[in-house]
């Protein structure tokens, strides 16, 4: 329909944009916390195995479906299935899921933006106060921060694939790498830093049980931005000569690398602050870690580098997480935007306007889930727990439908679209991949145990979340 499909300008641009999507809040904080609590090196090892042998094949499947169809998820499932209605449902799920996840991800990004602004303004001491976060997330200033974040996302996305998404990734990702490495080097010079490194890396296999294995897989799946139509949509902006397997491997490697290195930043910082930390006392969630624990640690740096120095370090950290979050937010929002453009023939601006307005409305609802509105805070109750709108979105879309979408992609590629088409697509820009052991592995695993694993994750989540057993 209408204009030819937009394209990334270069291979590097595509890799950085896809890595920008993958590297997000989950890498910067979620991964280090999960690794430390769940057996350190043992968790790392499992995580790496899941990335290489479960997630990478799924990523290849998503990117190939995108590039073969050159469509958004709706169009891709429709065209490659020959218009079968049940596959259209998969297309819808892969379009709605990112929109819904964008709501909660936007709320997190807005908080990070607010903390970044406050650090830059010199209010680190306020942020370090344990009571601040609870007040902050219920304050009306949040609305301004939300507008700020949305303007940034809008400006990037309205530039389109090459001038918007790719340019932003080429700017933000290298900056992110530099800030990350700089902060790690600084933190490693602090007293007791190596205690933190030890805690992070020394494997403790006794902690590994079924729940930990499942947590490692979910973390890897989410971290690589799978199950949300993102890699499919980005793949659809690739030309036919590009090397999909080679690029996907680099994306997975960068994502895992950044997550690993982020641990070398967070844990040494924690241990230098309090050498007697034990993993039990570590904050349970990434949210607690970023917004209450870390500001305290940054403030403590004032005894060595002064208040201004501590503020600079804290600002750099929040800027780093903010860049990671923005490039992810852009990718997740691009999925419904591209679907609306393709499906309805709307311009990019019009699609952005419509979906942006919807996103603002729903995000305000989600952001009111922390006390502002009792109705949204105590929205429903299941499995014996009262849940806010924010919780419901996370439970349903992030925890439940995400692995389910992954399962559908695997089944679709192998049993509907067929292996031969997948292989043709994968081999096109990558003669080395053709007939390699990894290609055989991808063919086999996508049709057998990967969907089984994802189905188990799905069933397990449903049982735990909604039935509480
Ligand atoms: N991969 C991102 C992270 O680890 C998560 C994400 C990306 C979520 C894109 C939504 C959209 O934080």
Contact 55, 220 (CB under 8 A): yes
Does residue 78 fall inside a structural domain?
Answer: yes
Q: Is any atom of ligand 1 closer than 6 Å to the C-beta of 227? A: no
Residues across the chain: 469
What is the predicted pLDDT for the residue at 272? 86
Provide the residue range defining the domain that includes 143. 11-466
Mutate to test the pocket of ligand 1, among 157, 165, 223 (most ligand atoms within 8 A of CB): 223
Instruction: Record the tokens describing residue 103, joined without a space.
Output: 């709501």
Cα–chain-centroid distance for residue 459? 22
Contact 6, 160 (CB under 8 A): yes
Q: What is the pLDDT of residues 90-106, one digit of tens each?
A: 999 999 999 999 998 99
Helices 302-344 and 348-367: angle between axes, nearest 10 degrees: 130
Helix (H) or strand (E) holding 380: strand 380-382
Which residue's alpha carbon is at the smallest distance from atom 9 of ligand 1?
328
Collapse the DSSP code of 381 into the 3-class scheme (helix H, G, I; strand E, B; otherwise coil) and give the result.
strand
Contact 269, 294 (CB under 8 A): yes
Does residue 166 fall inside a structural domain?
Answer: yes
Does residue 1 fall inside a structural domain?
Answer: no
pTM attached to this predicted model: 0.95
Does residue 302 fall inside a structural domain?
Answer: yes
Asked whether residue 237 carries a pLDDT value surpassing 70, the answer given is yes
DSSP label of 436 = -
Q: Is any atom of ligand 1 closer than 6 Å to the C-beta of 332? A: yes
Instruction: Record the tokens describing residue 306, joined without a space.
Output: 């002064």
Which residue's alpha carbon is at the smallest distance from atom 7 of ligand 1?
328
Asked whether residue 114 carries a pLDDT value surpassing 90, the answer given is yes
Which residue's alpha carbon is at the smallest distance from atom 2 of ligand 1?
24
Does residue 376 fall inside a structural domain?
Answer: yes
Q: Is any atom of ligand 1 closer than 6 Å to the C-beta of 219? A: no
What CATH number corresponds to the domain at position 97?
1.20.1740
Angstrom CA distances, 131 to 128, 194, 371, stand at: 9, 30, 14
Does residue 348 fall inside a structural domain?
Answer: yes
Could you tell me which of 98, 140, 73 has the C-alpha nearest to residue 355?
A: 98
Provide the pLDDT confidence category of residue 284 given band limits of 50, 70 and 90: low
Q: Is any atom of ligand 1 closer than 6 Å to the C-beta of 25? A: yes
Contact 60, 245 (CB under 8 A): yes
Contact 332, 228 (CB under 8 A): yes
The secondary structure of 329-353 as a DSSP string is: HHHHHHHHHHHHHHHH---HHHHHH
Cα separation of 132 and 407, whole Å?
Answer: 41
Instruction: Give whichever of 84-88, 292-296, 380-384 has the largest mean pLDDT.
Output: 84-88
Give the CB-side neighbour count of residue 374, counting CA atoms within 13 A.
0
Cα separation of 389 and 369, whole Å?
Answer: 6
What is the predicted pLDDT for the residue at 281? 66
What is the predicted pLDDT for the residue at 2? 54
ipTM attached to this prediction: 0.95
Could you tell me which of 336, 352, 318, 349 has the C-alpha nearest to residue 397?
A: 336
> CB neighbours (10 Å) of residue 388?
22
Does residue 383 fall inside a structural domain?
Answer: yes
Mutate to test the pocket of ligand 1, among 59, 225, 233 (most ligand atoms within 8 A of CB): 225
Collapse the DSSP code of 373 into the 3-class scheme (helix H, G, I; strand E, B; otherwise coil) and give the result.
coil
Domain tally for the chain? Answer: 1
What is the predicted pLDDT for the residue at 280? 65
100 Cα: distance to centroid of ligand 1 (angstroms): 13
**Cα distance between the two ends of the chain:** 49
Q: Is any atom of ligand 1 closer than 6 Å to the C-beta of 44? A: no
309 Cα: distance to centroid of ligand 1 (angstroms): 30
What mean pLDDT comes out for the span 244-269? 96
Does residue 2 fall inside a structural domain?
Answer: no
442 Cα: distance to centroid of ligand 1 (angstroms): 24
What is the predicted pLDDT for the residue at 220? 95
Contact 9, 162 (CB under 8 A): yes
């Amino acid at each position: 329909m209408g204009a030819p499909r937009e394209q990334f300008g270069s291979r590097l641009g595509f890799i950085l944009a896809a890595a920008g999507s993958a590297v997000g809040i989950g890498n910067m904080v979620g991964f280090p916390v999960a690794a430390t609590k769940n057996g350190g090196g043992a968790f790392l090892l499992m995580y790496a195995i899941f990335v290489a042998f479960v997630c990478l094949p799924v990523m290849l499947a998503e990117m190939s479906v995108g590039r073969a169809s050159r469509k958004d998820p709706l169009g891709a499932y429709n065209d490659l299935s020959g218009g079968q209605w049940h596959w259209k449902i998969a297309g819808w799920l892969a379009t709605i899921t990112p929109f819904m996840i964008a709501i909660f991800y936007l709320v997190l990004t807005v908080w990070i933006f607010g903390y970044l602004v406050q650090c830059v303004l010199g209010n680190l001491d306020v942020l370090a106060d344990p009571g601040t976060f609870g007040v902050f997330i219920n304050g009306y200033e949040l609305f301004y921060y939300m507008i700020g974040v949305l303007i940034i996302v809008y400006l990037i996305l309205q530039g389109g694939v090459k001038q918007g998404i790719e340019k932003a990734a080429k700017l933000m990702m290298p900056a992110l790498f530099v800030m990350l490495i700089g902060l790690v080097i600084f933190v490693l010079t602090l007293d007791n830093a190596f205690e933190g490194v030890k805690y992070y890396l020394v494997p403790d296999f006794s902690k590994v049980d079924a729940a930990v294995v499942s947590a490692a897989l979910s973390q890897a799946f989410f971290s690589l931005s799978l199950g949300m139509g993102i890699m499919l949509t980005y793949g659809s902006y690739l030309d036919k000569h590009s090397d999909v397997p080679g690029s996907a491997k680099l994306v997975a490697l960068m994502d895992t690398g950044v997550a690993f290195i982020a641990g070398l930043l967070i844990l040494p910082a924690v241990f230098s602050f309090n050498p007697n930390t034990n993993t039990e006392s570590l904050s349970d969630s990434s949210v607690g870690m970023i917004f209450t624990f870390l500001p305290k640690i940054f403030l403590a740096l004032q005894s060595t580098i002064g208040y201004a120095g501590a503020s600079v370090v804290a600002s750099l950290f929040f800027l780093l997480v903010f860049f990671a979050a923005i490039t992810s937010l852009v990718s997740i929002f691009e999925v419904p935007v591209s679907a609306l453009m393709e499906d309805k023939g709307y311009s990019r601006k019009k699609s952005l306007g419509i979906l942006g307005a919807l996103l603002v409305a729903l995000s305000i609802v989600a952001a009111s889930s922390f006390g502002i509105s009792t109705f949204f805070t105590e929205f429903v109750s299941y499995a014996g727990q009262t849940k806010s709108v924010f919780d419901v979105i996370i439970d349903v879309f992030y925890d439940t439908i995400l692995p389910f979408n992954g399962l559908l992609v695997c089944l679709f590629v192998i049993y509907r679209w067929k292996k031969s088409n997948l292989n043709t697509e994968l081999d096109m820009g990558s003669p080395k991949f053709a007939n390699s052991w990894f290609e055989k592995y991808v063919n086999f695993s996508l049709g057998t145990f990967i969907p089984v694993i994802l189905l188990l994750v799905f069933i397990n989540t449903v049982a735990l979340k909604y039935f509480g057993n």
